[in-house]
Amino acid sequence: MKGKKALVTGGLGGIGTSICQHLSNEGAEVIATYFRQGDHESAKRWREEQKKNGYNFEIYYVDVADYNSCQKLFEDLGSKSQDIDILINNAGITSDTPFSKMDHIQWESVLHTNLDSLFNMTRPIINNMISRRYGRIINISSINAQKGQYGQTNYSASKAGIHGFTKALALEVASKGITVNTISPGYIATKMVMKIKEEIIEKIVGQIPVGRLGKPEEIARAVCFLASENSGFITGSNLIINGGQYLL
């Protein structure tokens, strides 16, 4: 991936950090975006930690749920936004509760962050990719898009929406050298999963044939595979990585 520029949303999170590192290991120049509720100091600390490990990432603030914030990101990136080759739409949140108790904010925040973000981040760069006749777009969905999950009507709906977006856009840009794919991770050991009650996690692990949670690097390696120049014939697909928990 030498000479390629990648942008990873949620690049400072569990899976995001590993994606940044793996893309960088493959030679890509990586821009990581962060939210951190505007805590820029904590983002700078992440950047410094990465530097100690030999990674030199550029970091930019963005709220992917907010169209104007994404517009501002691309203004801040200036000409750099015109040569993004690889876009990883990875940022996401949960706000789990049974539907009978779910309030409008829980619904809206999850849909805005997990699904509207794909419009907010992809629309500003797609025409540059089209004019350069090259692009790799990878959207991070979830096992629970297709399986459904108690307490996740909002999350499952948002992540299922990603599949429709991926397939429709893949068709529109296939002839322009751009691929659009989805990865659907199962339960991966990050903050997002670790905030579930311990006894519920134990039950979930019991449903995973491989017998453990996944690791962020097991997703990041797949991202690199799809992001490679050599993967140009794979588009509109969904790569399932869930330890056998739900097979289609």
Binding site for ligand CAA (CB under 6 A): 94, 96-98, 142-144, 149-152, 155, 187, 192-193, 196-197, 200
DSSP 184: E
Residue 151 touching ligand NAP (CB under 6 A): no
Residue 113 touching ligand NAP (CB under 6 A): yes
Q: How far is the CB of 217 from ligand CAA (least distance, A)?
A: 17
Measured CA to CA, the distance from residue 139 to residue 117 in angstroms comes to 10
Residue 160 touching ligand NAP (CB under 6 A): no
In the complex with ligand NAP, the residue whose CB is nearer, 134 or 242, is 242
Torsion angle of the four alpha carbons 217, 223, 225, 229, in this order, in degrees rounded to the nearest 10: -140
Residue 138 touching ligand NAP (CB under 6 A): no
How many chain residues are in contact with ligand NAP, going by CB under 6 A? 28
In the complex with ligand CAA, the residue whose CB is nearer, 124 or 151, is 151
Q: Phi first, then psi: what are they for 66, rounded to 5°? A: -115, 115
Residue 142 touching ligand NAP (CB under 6 A): yes
CA distances, 176 to each of 80, 89, 126, 192, 233 (Å): 21, 20, 11, 36, 12
Give the residue among 17, 52, 13 at the shortest CA–CA distance from 36: 13
Q: How far is the CB of 190 from ligand CAA (least distance, A)?
A: 8
Measured CA to CA, the distance from residue 40 to residue 34 in angstroms comes to 9
What string of H, E and C letters represents the secondary structure of 38-73? Answer: HCHHHHHHHHHHHHHCCCCCEEEECCCCCHHHHHHH
60 is catalytic: no
Interaction partner, residue 13 (ligand NAP, ligand CAA, none; CB < 5-8 Å by kind): ligand NAP
Residues 17-76 that bind ligand NAP (CB under 6 A): 34-36, 62-65
Which residues are annotated as catalytic?
A: 155
- Contacts to ligand NAP by CB under 6 A: 9-10, 12-16, 34-36, 62-65, 90-93, 113, 140, 142, 185, 187-188, 190-193
